[in-house]
């Protein structure tokens, strides 16, 4: 397989996003304003090209699969095997897209123990024991605590970024993807919420015919649980949950909201009671192009939360699995070893990604 890197320079929606960033409170540990973090604005994304890629008459790929990752990811390492498997089985290139302020779109020190440990040392010992605050989640936790609006803002920015790539493709300006390429999505964890907003809002009709496969994702927001040593600490998640269920949906003291289709799509996925008829109608009408696969012991994105989002009529789109080894939402496929049989791990990995690949083919 070949890995291609492409430079992305943020243009579409940038002025709006920057204005909102200037009104977003900075965390004490990193006082540089979000709009001055250049890694987030100019970055590389990667495309995995399968050996026998399906091509249009001009030699470019006749289809593309976006892969969206989970919350607080700082590396693509976990996702490379996923992308390679899907690309090989579907014969379609897979675009690994980094969500705003994640992976290579954030300062390197946010993922460096040596940089984060001094800040942890300054935290109250009892608080550390009870809150799940670690060097892994310190940056995201403190950024959310300083201003929970940035969770939505980074999602909105990512929507604009994806639309910029789609515009490039549709105008025939992408060096690898054909202008008429079929566009589908594989989404994991919070990447599924990004995908749901994209399909629901459907900006410029870019995703009218796109298929979406969600792995460990697809829940309404208030039934997720981001309290994790690898995602964010308990206090920050509680602040974020309270903000979106009490302030955001009622536009209380939040003048940064726009009231457009992107916001509406996100609000529809905050609580199952919000615009329930419209949301469930959407999933019923589009059940043929959406599938979700959950894990029984997933406490971050539980199956019931996905059911709440899709509605009872769409349960045919959802399958729940339970691996016979110790797994978690954050690490669904732990390394093979004394506690994880290599053959069992391989079997369940193949089961998940063969299902995804078959659906997205």
At 273-288, the pLDDT tens digits run 999 999 999 999 999 9
What average pLDDT does this structure show over 63-89?
98
**Confidence tier at 252 by pLDDT (50, 70, 90):** low
In whole angstroms, what is the distance from residue 306 CA to residue 68 CA? 17
* Phi, psi of 223, deg, nearest 5: -110, 5
What average pLDDT does this structure show over 41-52?
97
Residue 305 CA, chain-centre distance (Å), reads: 16
The pLDDT score that the predictor gives to residue 131 is 83
Residue 306 has pLDDT above 70, yes or no: yes
Mean pLDDT of the chain: 95
Residue 253 has pLDDT above 70, yes or no: no
At 23-33, the pLDDT tens digits run 999 999 999 99
Residue 290 has pLDDT above 70, yes or no: yes
Its pTM stands at: 0.96
DSSP string computed for 273-319: TTTHHHHHHHHHHTGGGEEEEEETT-SSS-HHHHHHHH-GGGGGGEE
74 close to 103: Cβ distance less than 8 angstroms: yes
Helix extents (H) in 132-233: 138-146, 149-170, 190-201
Output the domain CATH number for residue 284: 3.40.50.1820
Percent of the chain whose predicted confidence (pLDDT) is above 70:
98
In whole angstroms, what is the distance from residue 279 CA to residue 31 CA? 39
Burial of 126 per CB tally in 10 Å (0-12, 13-18, 19+): exposed
- Structural domain that includes position 165: 2-360
- How many domains does the structure of the chain reveal? 1
The pLDDT score that the predictor gives to residue 122 is 86
At 180-200, the pLDDT tens digits run 999 999 999 999 999 999 999
């Amino acid at each position: 397989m070949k890995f291609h890197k492409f430079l992305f320079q943020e243009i579409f929606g940038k002025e709006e996003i920057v204005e909102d960033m200037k009104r977003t409170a900075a965390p004490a540990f990193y006082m540089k304003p979000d709009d001055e973090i250049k890694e987030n604005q100019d970055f590389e994304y990667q495309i995995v090209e399968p050996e026998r890629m399906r091509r249009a008459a001009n030699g470019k790929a006749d289809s593309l699969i976006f892969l969206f990752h989970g919350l607080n990811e700082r590396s693509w390492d976990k996702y490379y095997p996923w992308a390679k498997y899907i690309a090989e089985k579907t014969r379609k290139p897979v675009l690994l897209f980094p969500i705003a302020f994640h992976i290579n779109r954030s300062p390197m020190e946010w993922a460096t123990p040596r940089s984060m440990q001094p800040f942890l040392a300054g935290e109250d010992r009892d608080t550390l024991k009870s809150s799940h605050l670690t060097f892994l989640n310190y940056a995201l936790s403190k950024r959310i605590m300083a201003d929970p609006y940035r969770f939505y803002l980074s999602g909105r920015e990512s929507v604009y970024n994806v639309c910029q790539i789609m515009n490039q493709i549709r105008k025939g300006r992408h060096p690898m993807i054909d202008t008429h390429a079929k566009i589908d999505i594989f989404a994991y964890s919070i990447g599924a919420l990004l995908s749901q907003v994209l399909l629901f809002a459907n900006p410029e009709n870019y995703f009218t015919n796109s298929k979406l496969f969600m792995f460990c994702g697809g829940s309404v927001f208030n039934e997720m649980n981001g309290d994790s040593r690898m995602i964010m600490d308990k206090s920050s998640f509680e602040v974020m949950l309270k903000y979106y269920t009490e302030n955001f949906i009622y536009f209380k003291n939040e003048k940064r909201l726009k009231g457009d289709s992107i916001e509406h799509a996100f609000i529809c996925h905050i609580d199952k009671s919000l615009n329930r008829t419209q949301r469930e109608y959407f999933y019923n009408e589009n059940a043929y192009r959406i599938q979700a696969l959950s894990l029984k012991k997933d406490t971050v994105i539980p199956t019931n939360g996905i059911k709440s989002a899709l509605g009872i009529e769409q349960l045919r789109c959802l399958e729940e699995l339970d691996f016979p080894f110790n797994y978690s939402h954050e690490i669904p496929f732990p390394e093979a070893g004394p506690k994880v049989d290599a053959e069992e791990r391989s079997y369940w990995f193949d089961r998940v990604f063969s299902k995804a690949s078959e659906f997205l083919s």
